[in-house]
Amino acid sequence: MYAEVDVEKCTGCRVCEKVCPTLSINVVGEKKEKLAVVDLDTCAGCGACAERCQFEAVVLKTLDEPKVISVDPHSVDEEKIYELCVKASLHPEQIICYCTGTRAEEVAAAILMGASSPEEVSRMTGVRTGCKVECIQPILRLLKAAGIEPKPLKDGWQWYGITPTIWDIPEDVVKKYSARGFYFEEDRALFKKLLDTIKAGGE
């Protein structure tokens, strides 16, 4: 799929720019001439622009030939991928994008190949181009594990920041709410068991 702009309807309001996870739609021109333009080389057809344009000026069209967006984790040192994933408390095989089925190892590989922002990760792997919602935090965690702390785009709404994980929850909060059904300690044990399978060499 790819995004197509209806020039008759586009007002150049820039909302599409603010929500595009691959920075593939940009408004060009001045004043009344302003118009959104799509970069078809990087557009992943996620539809964020089409879904938020209040003028219904963007539609999704089907590509003549499907486009595959992915990074081969085997093209990067496996040890380094594992190291990065473990540092981010993610199992390398753990799915982090439920829409594209992308696993942590592929995002780690993209970062090791030079991706330094969620937008670059998305362009290389396709994550964040399905629902556009659920996978931002593991991407930020893997970037942080690689020593990269990207800044959100000025005026962009793509993402704002990294948020806490179960490992960051203060102990007093864990204790306070355990009797209310929040089983943080038990869930930590579950994650630990998952991560321990890497150390044990399990797959």
Partner 1 sequence: MNIRFNKPVKPLPPKPSRYGPDPEHIKTRACDLKNIVSVKVRDLFPDITESIYPSEKGVKAVREATVNALEKVDMNMIKPKDSVNILGSHHGFTILGGEPYAEMLKTIKDVIMDRTGAENIRLRVGVGLRFRESDEYIKRFGLDDYFNKRARGVAPIDEGIPIETEIGTLYGIKRCYDADWIVHAHNSDVREIHFHRHVDRAVKPFGMSYARLETRSTYHQNLGPRGANFVARAIFNSEFVQKKWTFATFLKPTPAGIAGVDADNDLFALDERLSIDNFRYYGKVLTLLSHIEDCIAVLDFQAPIPYVFSAGMIFANFSAASIDIFDLDYPLPGYTWYTEAFYGKNDKPLIPDISPVNPAVKAMVINYAWGGYPSVFWAKMIPTIVVGEWQADVFRRDPQNIEFMRHAVVAEDLEAAIEFAIKIADTDKIIVFDGAPGVINVSESLAEELVEKASEVDMEVEQKLLPKWCRQRGIKLEGYADVPAH
Burial of 93 (0-12, 13-18, 19+ CB in 10 A): middle
Q: Which stretch binds partner 1 (CB under 8 A): 25-33, 35-43, 74-82, 184-192?
A: 184-192
Instruction: Tell me how far apart the 2 most distant CA atoms of the chain are, in Å.
Output: 62
Buried b / exposed e over 3-19, threshold 16 CB at 10 Å, is: bbbeeeebebeebbbbb
Q: Does 40 bind partner 1 (CB under 8 A)?
A: no
Q: Which H or E run contains 186?
A: helix 184-199
User: Which residue in 13, 60, 86, 153 binds partner 1 (CB under 8 A)?
Assistant: 60
**Of the two residues 9 and 177, which places its CB atom closer to partner 1 in the complex?**
177
**Of the two residues 147 and 181, which places its CB atom closer to partner 1 in the complex?**
181
Instruction: Give the span between the Cα atoms of 157 and 61, in whole angstroms.
Output: 24
Question: Tokens for 4?
Answer: 């197509």
Please, what is the minimum distance in Å from the beta carbon of residue 103 to partner 1? 7
Which residues bind to partner 1, rule: CB under 8 A?
Answer: 1, 18-19, 44-48, 51-52, 60, 62, 91, 93-96, 98-101, 103, 129-138, 141, 157-161, 163-166, 168-170, 173, 177-184, 186-188, 190-191, 193-194, 197, 202-203
